Structure formats: structure tokens, C-alpha cells
């Protein structure tokens, strides 16, 4: 199985997937994508989705870390991301870590780093629709308070001295709790001082970091596009009426994230279940690909 992760090194969401490779002990190829738009090689694969990261497996393109985690687990169940039947709990926890935890962290990364390149500030002020960049300086105390409140929750989860959030085994829950902490160390001014107030978080952070990133090899974007062109999708067609009444396999639809970066991806419906969505599309550079999304947090609409 050739896993190809399209990402950039300072991306906190990409760090989730790199750690999932580490937890599972997998080998993967790394394609570096631009930090800001345009990202022509990435959007040739995705049909417009621009967020980081994206996982490619042949001609199947997986968008969103939730969808990527489920797919890694399906294809490689050993060393589970969801031990002891914790899949539902782990996936549900993303609403906490992506919203309550990541968002104030993103505000602090943008608002406390005075030397951020202009191109990043410009791109992200349009992209992060949950942040008002004009009022950011005055919002910093509130954002610190919100970020601290989530660190306190993590400390509470770990205060009995357990190794990992769910007990003795590492899981996707640890990766979800960890990625804003990783962002804090790397991207938030005074991040180390902020974290020093949470000793159990500090000890656990080292265990999660020690999961590592698996075995990484670099690949260039042209080679990844050639792989997409040469291979066929392995997606099985399943469209459930209950996942959105009125839609059927083969219909032309658009899939759009409900939060920020809401670029629609158009294609022919291949999968629609309570867990996932997939559309088939043909691109001059990527050939025929199937682009996959989680069901939760994505809107599907008929276009023709």
C-alpha cells in the first residue's frame, strides 16, 4: 500500500496524520505542498479542496484528518487508532479539539507572531473565517484564556497518572488532544511558558511525540500526479437514501466543508453513508480520481 501525504511540515493538522503513521508503524511518501494558495498540484487531485493535509492512495484522494484516520484504520487495523471499541468516542472528540482547542490556538499563532510573512497573514485572514484579524490584538487575552481552559481539561484527563487519554494504549484521542499542544510549542509566543503550568500534560506530550512519524520518504508532486493517472480508484459504490434523501449514485453533486475553506468539489456521487462521501471526477493532470470526505461537517448538494 503506497500512502502519499500532501502536507507541509509546520501544519498542525498534518502532524495528526504523521503521528497516526507513527502509531501504526507505517511507511509513507511525503509531498510538500505550498503553505498558501495557489496549490495547483494539490487541487488537481482534490478538485478544489485546499486544506492541509490530504492523503492519496493511488487514485483515491482522502480529504480531512477524520476521513484519513478512518481510512488508515480500515486498510491497516493493526495497532489500532481506536483501541477497545473507542472509534465513536475518538471521532466525536474532534469537535472539541478542532473547534474549542485549535481555533484559539490558531488565533494566538496568528496574533502573537509578529514576524509572520505578509503572504501567510493575507491568505489566512481570508481562510480562517472564524477569526477577525482586525480585532485580533485586543482578543489575545480571551484567546489565551480559551486555550488555557482546554489545557486544563487535558490536565484533568491525565491527573490520575495514566499514560494516555484512554488508559494504557495510545489512540486517535491522544493525537487529537496533542496537536494544539504541538502547535503551541512551535507557533505561539510564550508557548513553553504556557505549557509549564500543566505538568501531567507535559509528561504525556513526550509519550505522544515518541510515537514518531513512521518511515517517511520524500516524493515530488509530479510523481504523485502520475501515480493518480496510472491507477484506478478502489472505492466501492454505496449510496444510502438515509444519508441524504433524493441523491443517488452517479448524480452530479458538489461537496463543501461547512466551516472555513468552503470551496465546493464537484463530481459524480460514488459514496454517501453516515460516515463518508465520495465523488468521481476527471482532471486533465490527475486523470480519473475519487475524492473522499467525512459525512460529518460536509454539505452535499445536487448540481445538475
Residues that bind ligand GSH (CB under 6 A): 11-13, 50-52, 64-66, 127, 261
Residue 5 or 157 having the CB closest to ligand GSH: 5
Which residues, at least 6 apart from 4, have a Cβ–Cβ distance to it below 8 Å? 28, 29, 30, 31, 55, 56, 57, 219, 224, 227
Give the three cell numbers for residue 97: 479539539
Shortest distance, CB of residue 230 to ligand GSH, whole angstroms? 26
145 DSSP 8-state letter: H
Shortest distance, CB of residue 297 to ligand GSH, whole angstroms? 7
Q: What's the rounded Cα separation, in Å, for the pair 30 and 12?
A: 15
Residue 131 or 158 having the CB closest to ligand GSH: 131
Shortest distance, CB of residue 295 to ligand GSH, whole angstroms? 13
Q: What's the rounded Cα separation, in Å, for the pair 240 and 266?
A: 19
Phi and psi at residue 219, in whole multiples of 5°?
A: -140, 150
Shortest distance, CB of residue 51 to ligand GSH, whole angstroms? 3
Which residue is listed with cell 504541538? 182
Residue 163 or 259 having the CB closest to ligand GSH: 259
Helix locations, 114-220, DSSP H: 118-127, 136-158, 172-187, 191-195, 199-209
With CA atoms as reference, report the closest residue to 147 among 204, 118, 187.
Answer: 187
Residue 11 or 56 having the CB closest to ligand GSH: 11
Shortest distance, CB of residue 129 to ligand GSH, whole angstroms? 11
Residue 13 or 146 having the CB closest to ligand GSH: 13
Q: What's the rounded Cα separation, in Å, for the pair 72 and 81?
A: 9
Residue 50 or 295 having the CB closest to ligand GSH: 50
Shortest distance, CB of residue 217 to ligand GSH, whole angstroms? 22
Amino acid at each position: 500500500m503506497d500512502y502519499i501525504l500532501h502536507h507541509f511540515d509546520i501544519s498542525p493538522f498534518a502532524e495528526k496524520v504523521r503521528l497516526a503513521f507513527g502509531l501504526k508503524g507505517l511507511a509513507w511518501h511525503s509531498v510538500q505542498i505550498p503553505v498558501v494558495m495557489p496549490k495547483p498540484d494539490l487541487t488537481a487531485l482534490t478538485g478544489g479542496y485546499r486544506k492541509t493535509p490530504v492523503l492519496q492512495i493511488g487514485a483515491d484522494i482522502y480529504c480531512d484528518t477524520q476521513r484519513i484516520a478512518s481510512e488508515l484504520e480500515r486498510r491497516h487495523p493493526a495497532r489500532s487508532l481506536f483501541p477497545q471499541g473507542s472509534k465513536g468516542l475518538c471521532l466525536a472528540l474532534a469537535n472539541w479539539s478542532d473547534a474549542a482547542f485549535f481555533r484559539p490556538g490558531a488565533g494566538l499563532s496568528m496574533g502573537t507572531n509578529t514576524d509572520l510573512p505578509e503572504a501567510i497573514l493575507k491568505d489566512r485572514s481570508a481562510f480562517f473565517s472564524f477569526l477577525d484579524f482586525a480585532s485580533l490584538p485586543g482578543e489575545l487575552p480571551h484567546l489565551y484564556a480559551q486555550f488555557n481552559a482546554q489545557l486544563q481539561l487535558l490536565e484533568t484527563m491525565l491527573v490520575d497518572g495514566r499514560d494516555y487519554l484512554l488508559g494504557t494504549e495510545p489512540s486517535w484521542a491522544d493525537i487529537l488532544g496533542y496537536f494544539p499542544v504541538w502547535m503551541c510549542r512551535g507557533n505561539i509566543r510564550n508557548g513553553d511558558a504556557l505549557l509549564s503550568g500543566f505538568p501531567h500534560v507535559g509528561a504525556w506530550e513526550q509519550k505522544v511525540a515518541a510515537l514518531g512519524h513512521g518511515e517517511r520518504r520524500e516524493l515530488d508532486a509530479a510523481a504523485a500526479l502520475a501515480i493518480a493517472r496510472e491507477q484506478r480508484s478502489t472505492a466501492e459504490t454505496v449510496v444510502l437514501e438515509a444519508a441524504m434523501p433524493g441523491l443517488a449514485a452517479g448524480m452530479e453533486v458538489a461537496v463543501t466543508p461547512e466551516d472555513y475553506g468552503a470551496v465546493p468539489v464537484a463530481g459524480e456521487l460514488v459514496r454517501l453513508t453516515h460516515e463518508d462521501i465520495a465523488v468521481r471526477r476527471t482532471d486533465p493532470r490527475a486523470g480519473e480520481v475519487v475524492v473522499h470526505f467525512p459525512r460529518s461537517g460536509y454539505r452535499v448538494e445536487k448540481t445538475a
